[in-house]
Chain A
Amino acid sequence: MTVPLSKSTPPLMEIHSLTKTFPVAQSLLSRWRGQPRRAVQALTDVELTVRRGETLGIVGESGCGKSTLARTLVRLYDADRGSVRYGDLDVLSLRGPALRQYNRRVQMIFQDPYSSLNPRMTVEAVLREALSVHHMRPAAEQPARVRELLQLVGLPPEAAGRLPHEFSGGQRQRIGIARALALEPECLIADELVSALDVSVQAQVVNLLLELQERLDLTVLFVAHDLRLVRHISHRVAVMYLGRVVEVSDTEAIFTAPRHPYTQALLAAAPTLDPSRRTAAPAITGELPSPLNVPSGCAFRTRCPHAFERCATERPALLKLEDGPEVACHLYDPVSTAQATG
């Protein structure tokens, strides 16, 4: 690994207090009764920094907001409040050509290669559309660039004339990657890039991503639920729970010394490949609360074995510990420690 990722590397993207809610359709009856309109709390005050050249893994269970975060960062969703800085840009206020320019620099690759490609467009048409929309190449130079892109992602030149249904899942995901790379982006946001693929094919696509990242100096946000894979490719990992970032740390620190009780539970629940290490008791009991009704204070307190009074009344802020990790948990806040011991 050659990418310099010291603490002094300037951040590529800085996310502050990013919040997104989705209002839920309300019945006429409840409106007539004057009941307030309910909303899904998808993101609540998300704080996150993405360093240039790194792979930042974003993990969490369904409803934790990891996909909403990815989509908000490329402006597919409009945030309720907060800020996203990308270099000098204030991402959330971009309009028109400036937004289009930003969208070229930050590209998203979707989970489902079956539904994110137009079934009636050949691979060449898909790639040329991307090149034309963003004025990357004049029409005359496009066919050559298409061949270059196909070679880059390991597809044969004949692929250009085929339709998406003629490819396997892994190949379709390569087309998705080629389309993103057509725009020569600085940052890729990959939302469950390989989840839909079979294990033996997943490794092919992961290798491609690793290779392209080194060659093209890309920053990657890798959103996934597969912890083994995230551990393998990420420099740092952010763990989310019910719309909040609960822990951010270097990958080794997350996996060998998890701090937040949720991170600990998540890792303990993930099935290991060693049959001799089995436990009889589940790592954690209780269900995920509904994102329509997030618990007060710390969202994890209803399932947390260490919860105490303060967890119900006050939401823990994401604090930076001395040895590096950032954790949103009262257990690591000196104020709580003083209260508990004093």
Chain B
Amino acid sequence: MTAPHLSVRDLNVRIPTPGGVLHAVRGVNFDLMPGEVLGLVGESGSGKSVTLRSLIRLHRPPIQMTGTVEYGGQNLLAASDAKLRSVRGGQISMIFQEPMSALNPVLTVGEQIGENLREHKGLRGRAAQERAAELLDLTGIPSPRARLSDYPHQFSGGMRQRAMIAIALASEPQLLLADEPTTALDVTIQDQILRLLLRLREELHMSVILVTHDLGVVAQTCDRVAVMYGGRLVETAGVNDLFHAPKHAYTLGLLQSLPGAGEHRRPLQPIPGGPPDLRSLPPGCPFAPRCAYVTEACRTGEPPLLEVAPGRFSACIHYDELPALKSTLEEVGV
């Protein structure tokens, strides 16, 4: 079996707030295989973005991170700052949700790509310009050479996201971290960007971790999915398995709450209540207060993430009582 590209073990992130310490990520474990697109999904406050940022130690004190993030034989959480700097933006690049706030408004797009080329590839001057134009072309920006001297505000939302991807790719990364890269975009542009990411993954042999709350985006983009709830990883599975036969009551509830076809204007099946408050979590399973399958055992101890079938992990005591899903997938159009 091939070795994982990235291994996360017992990752914990604690954020001090005036109302007490917020335990945003609680003991997360996962492996990322080379060339894989892993979707990290969850609702707001589930800890998915905080997890992603911890992988390259983007949190500063007083935020505390513990655990290990093993990459290339090193624990990135304990690596020296110099080492981390060469990995960040080099072997591991990141793209963000809001290209307008992630790009520097007073530097041209060409200069911002050039910065990365100089730092991680040692390219300067004409060679850097040539390569920057190639990168813009790769991401599908028309007349790339002319566009190098444009500022971010001269680009549309979709083009800014392409430019950010071009900057991220300049160092020829082996791992791309994408935090809601298409959430701010229109659906036709989102479609273009997601196809672009999949094409680049093939051409450049990258692995990708995609953080999103959109289950449609997951179904259309990811190979494997990790579902987060209340700061915990509650289920991981191959994308087909997850959408056809979820093994955690939360995943099931999430998929069942979406409108499917053939039930026009019939009531939906919402999950009652709201997401948990990370400052005062219930003692057992964080999903127990909203769960339709809850029993006393769920409320006493927090169930660990266990392998319930080959390659499938679930932190649900009742994983084998959950029905397989068909109706959501039988829709015709959307």
Contact = CB atoms under 8 A, between A and B. Distances in A.
Contact of B332 (A225, A233, A256): A256
B190 A269 contact: yes
Contacts of B156: 287-288, 290
B269 interface: yes
Interface residues of A, number: 51
Contact of B188 (A61, A168, A276, A279): A61
Given A267-B333, A272-B216, A203 B270 contact: yes
A24 interface: no
Contact of B220 (A229, A275, A288, A290): A275
Contacts of B74: none
A75 interface: no
Contacts of A138: none
A199 B198 contact: no
Contacts, number: 153
Most chain A beta-carbon neighbours within 10 Å: one of B220, B271, B272, B275: B220
B310 interface: no
A224 to B, nearest CB: 12
Interface string A226-256: 0111011100000000000000000110011
Most chain A beta-carbon neighbours within 10 Å: one of B158, B239, B264: B264
Contact of B271 (A168, A200, A284): A200
Interface in A28-43: none
A269 B265 contact: no
A91 B258 CA distance: 37
B118 interface: no
A229 B274 contact: no
Contact of B257 (A55, A202, A211, A279): A202
Interface residues of B, number: 52
A136 interface: no
Interface in A114-170: 168, 170
Most chain B beta-carbon neighbours within 10 Å: one of A168, A225, A275: A275
Interface string A255-280: 11000000001111111111110111
Given A200-B257, A256-B332, A284 B188 contact: yes
B300 interface: no
Nearest to A61: B186
A267 B328 CA distance: 17
A275 B257 contact: no
A1 interface: yes
B216 A206 contact: no
Interface string B316-334: 0000000000001101111
Interface of B: 43-44, 156, 158-159, 186-192, 194-195, 198-199, 213-217, 219-221, 239-240, 243, 253-255, 257-259, 261, 263-265, 267-272, 274-275, 290, 328-329, 331-334
Given A204-B272, A280-B199, 10 more contacts: A1-B264, A200-B253, A269-B187, A269-B190, A271-B187, A271-B217, A273-B215, A275-B240, A284-B191, A287-B156
29 contacts: A1-B264, A199-B254, A200-B253, A202-B270, A203-B257, A203-B268, A204-B272, A206-B259, A207-B270, A211-B267, A232-B259, A232-B268, A251-B264, A256-B332, A266-B188, A269-B188, A271-B187, A271-B191, A271-B214, A273-B258, A273-B331, A274-B331, A280-B198, A282-B188, A283-B191, A284-B192, A287-B156, A288-B186, A290-B156
